Amino acid sequence: MTDETEKDRLNRELDQLLGELRVALPGVQVLFAFLLTVPFSQRFTALDETARDVYFAAVTLTAAASLLLIAPTVHHRLRFREGTKEELIQMATHLAIVGSGLLALAMGAAIYVVGAAAFPHSRARWAGVAFVLLAGLVWFVLPFHYRRRKQPD
């Protein structure tokens, strides 16, 4: 049994959540920066219309993932003295989960565009779709699978 108080638990959970976001955000920012430079490369115009559409989706999804993954920090800063830490943790958890899902889609879209650019007229672009499926499995299906297995009957 633990001697952790409710206040201690909330502080620990918020610290853990903000730490997890600190791990995810640099990757999102690097992807976003990379994607913002792509249209200025000479090869961008060689992409077919579908690849350019997927590229735009990748930029938009990355921007949305950044927004959602940064939001808990902004919310915390604006509301940290209101005594609503439990509510803040629940909201931030949902934003982080949705932001992670958008990040997986953005990464898959970026892989699609790279495949289309590096190997035109091949199936390499579809590695992006495979990546999204793998991310869904590893990031979402597996944790829910193990959580279900640990729940008492």
Domains of the chain, residue spans: 6-150
Q: What is the pLDDT of residues 51-77, one digit of tens each?
A: 999 999 999 999 999 999 999 989 888
Q: How far apart are CA 64 and CA 69, in angstroms?
A: 9
Average pLDDT of the chain to the nearest whole number: 90
Is pLDDT of 29 > 60?
yes
Q: What is the CA radius of gyration of the chain?
A: 19
The CATH number of 6-150, from 2.40.128, 1.20.140, 2.30.30, 2.40.230, is 1.20.140
The whole model's pTM is what? 0.87
- Between CA 16 and CA 111 the distance in angstroms is 30
pLDDT score of 80 more than 80: no
Counting Cα atoms < 13 Å in the Cβ hemisphere of 66 gives 14
Q: How many CB atoms lie within 10 A of CB 142?
A: 11
Q: Other C-beta atoms within 10 Å of 86: how many?
A: 13
